[in-house]
């Protein structure tokens, strides 16, 4: 699911007028349902949420030292977008106002 598909899913699920609370809750609900259905959610400039299978493994109980088996399970992974990571790392300056993860406009070709 990309950003355009996320917008369409939220628009289909919600009415024409939403309160800010309903809008945020609807977006998060659509994202959680997509990741739970094993569909990665990619938002340009922000990042990607995806589920991964973690295999069964052997671990050690730190209190008793006993070896235990940890069952296989699905976990959620987040991979930040390049622009987001650049802002967090300080490689790019945070804009004073406006959208900080919006793509930079394309430069016209000569």
64-94 pLDDT tens trace: 999 999 999 999 999 999 888 988 998 888 8
Alpha helices in the chain (DSSP H): 3-13, 20-36, 82-89
In sequence order, the β-bridge partners of residue 57 are 70
How far apart are the C-alpha atoms of 23 and 103, rounded to whole Å?
23
Q: Do 78 and 46 contact (CB within 8 A), yes or no?
A: no
Enter the pTM of the model. 0.72
How far apart are the C-alpha atoms of 95 and 75, rounded to whole Å?
34
Using the Cα atoms of residue 9, residue 14, residue 20 and residue 22 in order, give the sign of their dihedral: negative
Work out the percent of the chain whose per-residue pLDDT is above 90. 45
Is the pLDDT score of 21 beyond 90? no
């Amino acid at each position: 699911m990309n950003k355009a598909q996320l917008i369409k899913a939220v628009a289909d699920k919600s009415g024409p007028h939403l309160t800010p609370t309903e809008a945020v809750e609807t977006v998060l609900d659509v994202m959680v349902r997509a990741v739970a259905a094993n569909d990665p959610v990619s938002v340009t400039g922000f990042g990607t949420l995806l589920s991964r299978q973690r295999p069964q493994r052997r671990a050690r109980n730190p209190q008793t030292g006993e070896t235990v088996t940890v069952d296989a399970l699905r976990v959620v992974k987040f991979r930040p977008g390049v622009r987001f990571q650049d802002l967090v790392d300080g490689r790019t300056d945070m804009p004073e106002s406006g959208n900080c993860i919006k793509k930079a406009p394309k430069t016209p070709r000569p």
